[in-house]
A = this chain, B = another copy of it.
């Protein structure tokens, strides 16, 4: 839902560029099996905020990279993101994503695995088209980080609240791709390595904040808006920051027992705990942590070249923690 004033402020410089990124993504199915084209069309039609391409474009433009290279990079990153979602939804058995049917809800597991693989391949092809060995390197490294994070999540004990594990998980899942977006954009620009480290830090910090806010929205949103059941993560045994904060604030609530010891609580316990978390200061505490990340991201930007792009990045960072709760 890209509609608030803030969104407009950071999207304006991008108005003509995002459609070119979309077009690059759509073109990747040309010359391949028609069902792949249909699948890609379906996946891309669900829209999404295209926040990773926006971050890559703004960062690269701020640092003087060529627009054409940035469009290639942005399409590559968004396809990488899309491919990981395809396999994730298959693994989770999710039926809806952003309110529309997931691929796995309509296709066989086999076709879904292969479509994800195909989109990975196209993302890698686009990354190679940036003609930067360094970009390719961090692209591949990011894919490894994301998948390693998913595997760790699968094997780690369910239900236990562990702040460090949570941070590692959201880094692998989300912040690593924001880092890729900013660092790769810098690599395609004339910026020196000091500036590159700065924007990488910015990407890391806002990526962490972005995932924390997503995890908060999982508790505070209602099912019709988010397109999935409230606290779906916790119901699947995945403990996110609101639950971690709640446990820290209410260590004696018997409903939190499983967050300390693991195990599978009853639906009644989960329902009650979700209500407790929603009504508690845990949401505010988690939000405070997200704001901390955004603040460090903004601090990092201080020395960056002034201009509409920098201002748009600032607006975007603020938007992350001001999305409708």
Contact = CB atoms under 8 A, between A and B. Distances in A.
Interface string A141-153: 1011011101110
Contacts of A140: 121-122, 124-125, 127-128
A127 B141 CA distance: 11
Contact of A136 (B133, B148, B152): B133
Interface stretch (A67-75, A111-119, A205-213, A294-302): A111-119
B122 A144 contact: yes
A187 to B, nearest CB: 12
Contact of A143 (B36, B124, B132, B152): B124
A154 interface: yes
A205 B146 CA distance: 37
A135 to B, nearest CB: 9
Given A121-B140, A125-B137, A128-B139, A114 B151 contact: yes
Contacts of A4: none
Contact of A151 (B36, B150, B151): B36
A132 B134 CA distance: 10
Between A111, A118, A122, A136, the greatest number of chain B beta carbons within 10 A of the residue's beta carbon is seen for: A136
Given A87-B117, A124-B143, A111 B36 contact: no
A147 B150 CA distance: 22
Interface in A76-94: 87, 90-91
A143 B83 CA distance: 14
A139 B133 CA distance: 13
A80 to B, nearest CB: 10
Contacts of A87: 113-114, 117
A35 interface: yes
A129 interface: yes
A147 B117 contact: yes
A227 interface: no
A116 B114 CA distance: 11
A144 to B, nearest CB: 4
B117 A128 contact: no
Contacts of A124: 124, 136, 139-140, 143
A32 interface: yes
Given A132-B133, A139-B124, A114 B154 contact: yes
A36 B144 CA distance: 11
A131 interface: yes
A132 B235 CA distance: 46
Nearest to A111: B154
Interface string A14-54: 00000000000000000011011000000000000000000
B113 A144 contact: no
Contacts of A128: 133, 136-137, 139-140
**Lowest 5 CB-CB distances: which A-B pairs, in order?**
A124-B140, A121-B144, A125-B140, A121-B143, A128-B136
